[in-house]
């Protein structure tokens, strides 16, 4: 098994990608996050399979699969020399006596170690899989710190064809913005900025293979218009599926998903206040945010108890999908490396990872079952949690912005359990309540950005290549980073205020 049996990947998007001149990862001293949107679109909208021609899995031999993703993030903060923008990872190195900053070296090692693990396991005859979700902030921070050792390891497993079958990158919001409270006009900007910077670091061909999306904090909006625009933006940027937390969705009748339904693809449907409908394939992340789920390879053990299911007229393996912080906490630092190797060695001895319970990545799984005849229109349907309460009161043909707004207001007054904050992988924290001193400036900066640049950009796409636009966009996206609404009032909200002021200065320049 392994690289020797796998064939090269040839898709039309790859052919386009190889003819495009490479992107510089830095422009005007800033991360290159905008200006080549047309080129990005040319490589992200292919429907050609990514993994189908290179996977060594055969669906008829698989009973169940398990898909593990590692989420990595470090925010950008105005805490460098004279308040310059630096990665929080750099701050950790420079202030090792504060909090758990002494772990900076361990965190840095975690960011690059899959570049060691995957080649080692492949060459030892294992058949591993891993999905990677790195925020744009973190990738830029590693570049700022000149950590070419880490980026080089990631580049190896991303760009070397012998390792491509085993590693799948997931797109995300560039600046780790939680979607429900991000200004709607900025959703697509975050998504595009991540694609732009990823292509600059790893190449257009690597970007052409990114088909799945991992939202920060697994946060799914449930306001009808926000969810609709979110899915619309994802699809316009070429994404084919979305990872969602199980308790952030419900059936159309308002119930939690039936147990078996969590282990096959779902069709996430969104209807906006104008009655327009859009949908995207969703893979369901089960359970909560406990990092032990991935660190101790719980998805493998859960998958061992699963079997095949019927989708439409096709029998397919179940898939257990999980994601966890890839560096945060002792279990990820210490137990994950131990158990990741242990489990794959066990699988190697029990059939080489080609029979029974096997590791699979999300796009690989979807391409295999759809090649076998499964159709997205046959996937069970789900919607964002709490939406059934709205659509029970508003008939789709009677939908209007006024009717939806009135219904939401009535429900908020009459139902103490109803809210439009969305749902995330942990619902004991809010990125809205108590953070008005961040949210109001955030919305003001976004409005000022669009007032300044939307009309000129519509008239001339070249505006996005100017330093004025790039700097203003950077501050607009940075202010929306979730970290400034996570750690409570104090230094983090002060960081947000500084970003707001600099962003306003950049817009007025």
Q: Judge whether 424 lies within some domain.
A: no
What CATH number is given to the structural domain containing 29?
3.20.110
| pLDDT at residue 258 in the model | 95
| pLDDT at residue 10 in the model | 39
Q: Measure the CA–CA gap between 506 and 509, rounded to whole angstroms.
A: 5
Give pLDDT tens digits for 127-154. Answer: 999 999 999 999 999 999 999 999 999 9
pLDDT band at 276 (very low <50, low <70, confident <90, very high): very high
Q: Judge whether 416 lies within some domain.
A: no
| pLDDT at residue 423 in the model | 66
pLDDT band at 9 (very low <50, low <70, confident <90, very high): very low
Mean pLDDT, range 192-197, rounded to an integer: 98
Q: Measure the CA–CA gap between 379 and 390, rounded to whole angstroms.
A: 23
Q: Measure the CA–CA gap between 222 and 421, rounded to whole angstroms.
A: 7
Clarify whether residues 367 and 435 are in a common domain. no
Residues forming a β-bridge with 257: none
Among the listed residues 211, 230, 259, 179, the one whose alpha carbon sits nearest the alpha carbon of residue 47: 211
Q: Indicate if the alpha-carbon torsion angle 87, 158, 41, 180 is positive or negative.
A: negative
Clarify whether residues 193 and 313 are in a common domain. yes
Clarify whether residues 177 and 105 are in a common domain. yes
pLDDT band at 264 (very low <50, low <70, confident <90, very high): very high
| pLDDT at residue 498 in the model | 96
Helical residues (DSSP H) of 215-319, grouped into ranges: 224-236, 292-295, 298-304
| pLDDT at residue 22 in the model | 86
Among the listed residues 496, 472, 470, the one whose alpha carbon sits nearest the alpha carbon of residue 482: 496
Q: Residue 16 above 60 pLDDT? A: no
Residue tagged 């002021």 (tokens): 501
Q: For residues 131 and 68, is the Cβ–Cβ distance under 8 A?
A: yes
pLDDT band at 3 (very low <50, low <70, confident <90, very high): very low
| pLDDT at residue 18 in the model | 63
Q: Give the angle 247-107-144 at the CA atoms, nearest 5°.
A: 105
Q: Measure the CA–CA gap between 182 and 179, rounded to whole angstroms.
A: 5
Q: For residues 71 and 35, is the Cβ–Cβ distance under 8 A?
A: no
Q: Residue length, the chain?
A: 509
Give pLDDT tens digits for 331-387. Answer: 899 999 999 999 999 999 987 667 899 999 999 999 999 999 999 999 999 999 999
Clarify whether residues 204 and 298 are in a common domain. yes
Q: Judge whether 3 lies within some domain.
A: no
Element (H, E) at 86: strand 85-87
Q: Residue 6 above 80 pLDDT? A: no
| pLDDT at residue 359 in the model | 96
Clarify whether residues 366 and 436 are in a common domain. no
pLDDT band at 426 (very low <50, low <70, confident <90, very high): low
Note down the domain range covering 67.
8-215+279-371
Give pLDDT tens digits for 310-338. Answer: 999 999 999 999 999 999 888 899 999 99
DSSP string, 145-179: TT-HHHHHHHHHHHH-TTTGGGEEEEE--TT---G
Clarify whether residues 458 and 344 are in a common domain. no
Q: Judge whether 331 lies within some domain.
A: yes
How many independent structural domains does the chain possess?
A: 2
Clarify whether residues 20 and 109 are in a common domain. yes
Among the listed residues 282, 266, 155, 152, the one whose alpha carbon sits nearest the alpha carbon of residue 230: 282
Q: For residues 38 and 23, is the Cβ–Cβ distance under 8 A?
A: no
- Three-state DSSP at 59 gives helix
Query: How distant, in Å, are the alpha carbons of 20, 113, 399, 473, 507 from that of 468?
Result: 25, 37, 40, 9, 7
Clarify whether residues 351 and 439 are in a common domain. no
Clarify whether residues 327 and 465 are in a common domain. no
Q: Judge whether 222 lies within some domain.
A: no
Among the listed residues 380, 343, 341, 356, the one whose alpha carbon sits nearest the alpha carbon of residue 306: 356
Q: In this predicted model, which residue has the larger pLDDT, 467 or 422? A: 467
Q: Measure the CA–CA gap between 192 and 201, rounded to whole angstroms.
A: 14
| pLDDT at residue 11 in the model | 47
| pLDDT at residue 428 in the model | 52
Domain end: 326, 355, 371, which one? 371
Q: Measure the CA–CA gap between 241 and 199, rounded to whole angstroms.
A: 20
Residue 488 neighbours by CB under 8 Å, 6+ apart: none
Which pairing describes strands 130-134 and 167-171: parallel, antiparallel, or unpaired? parallel
Q: What are phi and psi of 310, to 5 degrees?
A: -105, 125
Q: Judge whether 502 lies within some domain.
A: yes
Clarify whether residues 207 and 342 are in a common domain. yes
Give pLDDT tens digits for 387-417. Answer: 999 999 998 888 999 999 999 999 999 998 8
| pLDDT at residue 354 in the model | 72
Q: Residue 85 above 50 pLDDT? A: yes
| pLDDT at residue 50 in the model | 95
DSSP string, 397-453: GG--HHHHHHHHHHHHHH-TT--SS-B-S-TT--SSTT-HHHHHHHHHHHHHHHHHH
Domain end: 371, 386, 401, which one? 371
Q: Judge whether 56 lies within some domain.
A: yes
Q: Residue 1 above 60 pLDDT? A: no
| pLDDT at residue 350 in the model | 86
Q: Residue 4 above 60 pLDDT? A: no
| pLDDT at residue 288 in the model | 65
Lowest mean pLDDT among 44-48, 252-256, 362-366: 44-48
Clarify whether residues 83 and 191 are in a common domain. yes
Mean pLDDT (the chain) is: 91
Q: Judge whether 404 lies within some domain.
A: no
Among the listed residues 385, 425, 190, the one whose alpha carbon sits nearest the alpha carbon of residue 289: 425
Residues forming a β-bridge with 358: 65
Clarify whether residues 490 and 364 are in a common domain. no
Among the listed residues 109, 75, 65, 47, the one whose alpha carbon sits nearest the alpha carbon of residue 337: 109
| pLDDT at residue 351 in the model | 74
Mean pLDDT, range 489-509, rounded to an integer: 93
Domain end: 330, 356, 371, which one? 371
């Amino acid at each position: 098994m392994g690289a020797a049996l796998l064939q090269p990947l040839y898709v039309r998007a790859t052919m386009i990608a190889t003819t495009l001149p490479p992107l510089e990862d830095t422009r005007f001293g800033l991360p290159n996050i905008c200006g080549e949107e047309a080129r990005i679109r040319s490589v992200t909208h292919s429907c050609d399979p990514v993994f189908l021609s290179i996977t060594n899995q055969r669906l008829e031999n698989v009973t169940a699969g398990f898909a593990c993703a590692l989420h990595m993030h470090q925010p950008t903060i105005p805490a460098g020399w004279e308040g310059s923008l630096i990665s929080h990872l750099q701050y950790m190195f420079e202030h090792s006596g504060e909090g758990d900053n002494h772990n900076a070296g361990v965190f840095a090692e975690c960011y690059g170690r899959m570049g060691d693990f995957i080649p080692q396991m492949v060459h030892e005859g294992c058949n591993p899989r891993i999905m990677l979700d790195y925020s744009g902030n973190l990738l830029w921070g590693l570049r700022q710190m000149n950590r070419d050792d880490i980026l080089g390891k990631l580049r190896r497993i991303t760009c070397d064809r012998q390792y491509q079958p085993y590693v799948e990158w997931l797109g995300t919001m560039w600046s780790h913005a939680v979607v429900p409270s991000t200004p709607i006009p900025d959703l697509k900007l975050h998504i595009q900025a991540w694609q732009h910077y990823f292509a600059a670091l790893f190449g257009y061909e690597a970007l052409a293979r990114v088909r799945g999306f991992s939202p920060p904090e697994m946060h799914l909006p449930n306001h009808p218009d926000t969810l609709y625009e979110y899915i619309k933006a994802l699809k316009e940027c070429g994404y084919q599926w979305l990872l969602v937390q199980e308790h952030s969705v419900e059936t159309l009748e308002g119930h939690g998903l039936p147990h078996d339904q969590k282990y096959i693809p779902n069709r996430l449907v969104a209807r906006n206040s104008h009655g327009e409908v859009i949908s995207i394939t969703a893979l369901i992340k089960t359970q909560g945010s406990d990092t032990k789920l991935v660190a101790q390879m719980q998805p493998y053990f859960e998958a061992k108890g699963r079997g095949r299911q019927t989708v439409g007229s096709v029998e397919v393996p179940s898939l257990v999908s999980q994601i966890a912080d890839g560096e945060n906490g002792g279990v990820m630092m210490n137990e994950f490396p131990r158990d990741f190797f242990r489990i794959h060695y066990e699988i190697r001895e029990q059939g080489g990872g080609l029979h029974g319970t096997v590791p699979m990545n999300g796009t690989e799984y979807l391409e295999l079952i759809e090649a076998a005849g499964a159709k997205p229109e046959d996937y069970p349907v789900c919607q964002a949690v709490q939406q059934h309460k709205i659509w029970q009161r508003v008939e789709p043909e009677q939908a209007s912005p006024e009717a939806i707004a009135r219904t939401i207001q009535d429900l908020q007054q009459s139902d103490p359990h109803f809210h439009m904050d969305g749902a995330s992988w942990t619902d004991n924290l809010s990125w809205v309540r108590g953070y008005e001193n961040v949210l109001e400036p955030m919305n003001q900066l976004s409005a000022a950005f669009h007032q300044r640049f939307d009309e000129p950009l519509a008239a001339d796409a070249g505006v996005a290549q100017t330093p004025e636009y790039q700097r203003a966009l950077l501050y607009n996206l940075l202010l929306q980073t979730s970290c400034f609404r996570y750690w409570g009032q104090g230094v983090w909200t002060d960081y947000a205020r500084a970003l707001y002021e600099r962003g306003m200065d950049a817009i007025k320049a």
